[in-house]
Structure 1
Amino acid sequence: MAIYHLSVSNVSRASGSKATATLSYISGKRVHDERRGETYDYGRKERVLRVGTLLPEGAPAEYADPAVLFNAVELHETGRTARPAKKIVVALPREFTPRQRVQALEEYIRENLNADGYAATYAIHEDREGNNPHAHILVANRQIDPATGGWARLKQRMEYVLDERGERVPLIDPETGRQKTDKRGRRQWKRTSVSLNPLDRKAKLKALRESWANTCNARLDETARIDHRSLEDQGSDLEPTIHEGYAARAIERAGGVSERCQTNREIRRSNSLLTAVRAELGRIFDRLGELFAAKIRQLRQRQARPEPAREPNWRYFEGDARRQLEADKADHTAAIRGKLMDARADVGNREEWWRSHGTEEHEAAKQIIDVARAASREARDANIFKRGRLLRNAEQVAGEQSEKLRGAVPWLEDTDIPADWDQANRFRMRTTKAIHDHDMQPRTRLVAELERRLEQAERAESEKPSPEQVKALALRMAEQRAQAENPTQDTKRPAPSGDEPLDLSEPEDWGEASPFESRQAPRTKADLLNEIRQRTDRLTGQQEAEQRQIDPWSAQPPQRRGHGR
C-alpha cells in the first residue's frame, strides 16, 4: 500500500553539514570538496538505483555534473552560517515501476524546482530487500539567473506592510496617536523584512507537499491514493504512527522486537479501539434520539406551563468565559510585544540614520564648535610672539560661538566652548553625545516602557483567571444569549401552537447545576458516556448495558514502555 512521506531539511554550514558531503551520501560516489580540500565517500553504492541532475533554463552546461554544481554553490556561499542546499526526502509508492519512479521524480522537480530557477540532483534508493523505495533530492539553495547563467542575488529586503485592502499601514506614534513623520515632514509607514528565497516560505513548502501527492496520485489507482495532509488536517482524531526507519525493521527481521515497531503496533491497536468506541457512540446517540422523540409530547405539555423565575445558567458558559479571558490576555500580550518590536526597530533605524546623516541640530552645533576649534588650533600652533594675541582672539571667538550654540541648541546645558584646543575637542565629543542621547531619548524611553508593560502582561497571562472574573463574564454571556433568543419577551405567554422550540432541561435541574456543569476539569469521552448512560437509565428505567455484546470502555489501552508521551 502506498504511503505518503515528504521531509525538507537544510544543509547548514552552521551545523557542520556540507552540500558536497550530502551529495556523496545520496549518490554513492566519491566527491571532492574544492572549498575545503577534502574528499568524501559516504555512500552505499549497492542501494543507489539511479542518480540524475535537472537544471533550470539558462544554467551552465557544466552544472549537469552534480559535483561541479554543488562545488559551485559551496564556493559562492561564503558565510559561516550559510545554507548552500536543501534536502528533500520522498517515499516512492511500491506500486510504481522503475520507469514510473523516474518519471514522477523528474516531473516533480521540473514543475516545482526548475520552474523557479533551482538546480537539483536526485537519487533513488532501496534497501537490500527492495521494501523501502525512496528518493533524495538535493537542491542548490540559490536560484540561477536565466539571463546571465550565474547565481541570483539572494537577500532580505524591506517591504511595506499592507492591510486587507492592499494599502500601506501607517506608523503610529503611541504618545500622540498620530502617524509619525520624519524631519522633512514626510509620513512614515510600517515596513517588514521579506526573504527573496521562495524555498524559505511556508506557502512554498506546503505547495511542495501537495504537488508530490498530486504527482503520485496521477499514476496510482483510486484505491491506492495518498494524502499529503496530516491526520489533524483531515479532521481525524486517530493517533499517527511514527517513522520506523531501516534499523528498526532490521531488528524485526532478525527476530528481535524493535521499540519503534512495537510503538506503532500499540498505536494501531489504540486506533482500532477508538474506531470501535466511535461506532458504539453512534449507536448510543441513535438510541438517545429515539428517547427524545418519544418524549416530545410530554416536553410540549411542560412547556405550556409557566416557568419559575431562575438565575441564568452561567455555568454553561463557564468554559467559554475562561477561554475568552485567557485569549484576551494573550491578545493583549501579543499586541504589546508587537509594539515593542516596532519600537526596537525604530531605535535601530534611527541609529542607522545617525551613523549616516545625523540631525540638523548636530550639524549646526558641529559647525559652530569647529569655528572655535579652528581659532584655538591657530593659537596653539603660533609662535611665542603671536600666541598671546591669538589666545585672546580664541577666547573671544569661543565666547561668540558659545552664544550661537545656545541659540542653535537651546536645551543643551553646557554651551561654554573652551578656548583650549584639547578641551574644545573633548567638548565637541560631549556635545555630540548629548545631542544623540537627546534625540534617541523618546525612543529608548518608549522601549523601556513597553518592556515594563510586556513583563506585567506576561506575568498576568501566566496567572489563571479568578473565579469572580470567570463568573462575571459567564453571567454576561448567559444574559446576552437570553436576550438574543428572546428579544421581545412578554410576561404573558401565548397559548402553545406546537411549533415552539423544545426546552429539554429537567425540572430537577432548575435549582442546581447539572453533573456536566459542576465539574471544571475537562471531561473525557468515558466520563461523558457514563453520564449519558445514567441519564438514559433514569428516563427509561431500562439497563441498556446488559443488552450490549461488548463494552469498549472496560478495555484498557495498552501500556507503552519507553515512550513518554
Structure 2
Amino acid sequence: MAIYSCNLRSIGRSTHAAGTAGAHILYISRAEAKPVILVNEMPAEPQAARNWLDRAERASRKNARVIDKIRLALPRELSEDERSRLVRDFMEDLAGDARIPWYAAIHFRGKDSHNPHAHIAVHDRDMDSGKRVLRLSDSARDRERAGLPGPKAVEWIRERWEQIGNQALERSGHDVRIDRRTLQAQGIDREPTIHEGPRAQHINDRVKRPASKRVLNGAGRLIDYPAIDRGKTRREFNAQVIDLNLERAVRSGRPETAAWAQFERDQMDKDRALKSGSRASARAARGRSASSPASSWPRGSGFAQSSGSTRAPQPPKCRPSMSGCGLPCGSGTMSSGGACGPSTRRFCPG
C-alpha cells in the first residue's frame, strides 16, 4: 500500500549551531544506509557537499535559513529508477525555472527496505540571482504578498507531493494512490500539540531549559501553561502527544493509517538520533573551522555549477557598485582607491 508522509523542517543560523546543515548532509548520505544520491547545482560527494554548504552558510546573513529539510515516504510500488525519477520530478516541479541547489538521499535498503523514503536538503538560493525562490520558511502573509502558492508553504508542499506522487503511480500502472489528508480528516482522533515558536526552540536548544508559566495572550486571556503541560517544556509535551497520536493511529484498525503511523514512528526515532549526532558533528566542525578564515564569497555569486558537478566555487568578479573599494577582489584590483562602503565590504577579502 502507498503511504503518504511529507515532513518539512528547516535549519537556520540563528536556530541551530553552526555546521548543523552540513552535518545533516553527512548523516543522510552515510555509507551504512547505502543511499541513492541525487543532486542539483551542488557536489554529490558527501564531504564535498558538506564543505559547499558550510561555505554557503558562512556567506549568508546571520539569521538566514541554511537549508529546508523535506522528508518523503516513497511508494513501495515503484522501482528504484521510478523513485529517483519521482524525487527529481517533485523538485523540478517546486523549483520551476529557477536553479536551486538541493541534495537528496534515497534510503531503501536494509532496515529501510520496508519503508523507502527520501531526505532532501534544499538551499533556497537561485544560482543566477542569489535570491530566495521557494521561501518555505516565510509566513503565510509574506508568501501571499509575494504571490507564492499556499499560502502556507507546508500545505503547498504537501499538495504538490500528493499530485506528483500519484502521477508517478498512475504512470507505472498502479491503482493505489497517496492521500495527504490529516488524521482528523480521515476520522482518526488525535490530541492537539502546543505551538513552539522559533524563540522557544532557540532557548530550548542553545540557552537553557525553558520554564512553564502562566501568561496573558493578546486578547487578555490568562493561559495556565503549567496546568496544560504538567511541568514539561513545550517540546517534551508535544513529543509525548505525538507519540500518543501515533500509537492511536497504529491501533486504528485501518491498514493504511497503521502503516503510515509505524513509518512516522520509525522516522521520529531516527530524527532524534540524527539531532544528537548532528550536534556533535557541528561542534567538531566549529573546532576545525576556528583556525581557518571564513569565506568572503557573496550570496549568489560564484556558486554556479552544473547538476552533479563538484567544481569548486569561484571568487566573485568585481562589480561597478564596488568601485572605490581599492582592495583586491576576484579577478583584479580596483583602481580608484577609497574606503570600503557597507555595500562592498562583504565582497572584499581585505
Normalising by the smaller structure, the TM-score range is: 0.3 to 0.5
TM normalised by structure 2 equals: 0.46
Greater Rg by CA: 1
TM normalised by structure 1 equals: 0.30
Pick the structure with more helix per residue: 1
Which protein has greater RCO, CA pairs closer than 8 Å, 6+ apart?
2
